[in-house]
Amino acid sequence: MSPLLGVLGGMGPAATADFLAKLAAYTPAARDQEHIATIVYSDPTTPDRSDAILNDGENPLPAMFRGIAFLDEAGCDLIAIPCNTAHHWYDDLAAATTVPVVHIVDAVAAQVEREAPDTTVLGLMATDGTIQARIYEKVLTQSGRRVIDLTDLGPDNPVMAGIRAVKAGALDGARDILTAAARELAARGAQGLIYGCTDVSAVLDIPPDDVDVPAWDAADALAISCVNRLRG
């Protein structure tokens, strides 16, 4: 029987759909039957992850546990979570199942190391919750890299504005806002960009328009990692 991938999704819906498209694009297949069998558990009612981290909002972990249990019981061989901020609870989620869970930040870090080992300053385009939880910083600083972001702009942070626009379905406006954010990070000295939110991944090209530094997409890295692990 072919290996089965489980996707803990819905955070948000557009990000999950984008991840599935990337998974299909990176799978070497000449016909339908050669693609990876996938079960998606998509619950957009999962409480906001950034709100839980920043404002002591409702805990999303019980909702995510339900999804993990569903995928475990379905017989999945590997689980992917196309939400960066959800990885703040990675250890709890991984401990709740015997199924291996891919860590999205490890996937991105490995890609950067392979493709640009001399890059030392990375501009992170992520939710305030991801940045506050230091999900990327904990991993990337181990290899001597520095992470910069735009959270110092507070309520004027264009990354958060762009993410909110994606969640509201205003994709063209979101693309313009996030492209401006990418340009600002490059102007501040970022030698490369990381799309550390799968809502950013859903709308931005690599690299964005008029940005002359490389970019790495967390959703791309997650999809590639899943294909490699399930297909060798």
Active site residues: 83, 197
CA gap 216, 116 in Å, rounded: 10
CA gap 175, 162 in Å, rounded: 7
Which residues are CB-contacts of 213 (< 8 A; sequence separation ≥ 6)? Answer: 123, 186, 190, 191, 192, 193, 207
Helices (H) and strands (E) in the chain, counts: 11, 7
CA gap 221, 211 in Å, rounded: 20
Report the run of H or E that residue 165 belongs to, with start and end.
helix 158-167
Using DSSP's 3-state secondary structure scheme, residue 79 falls into strand
Q: Which two tokens stand for residue 35?
A: 């693609």
Cα 135–chain centre separation: 11
How many CB atoms sit inside 10 A of residue 90's CB? 17
Q: Which two tokens stand for residue 119?
A: 């890059």
Closest CA to 43 of 68, 18, 79: 68
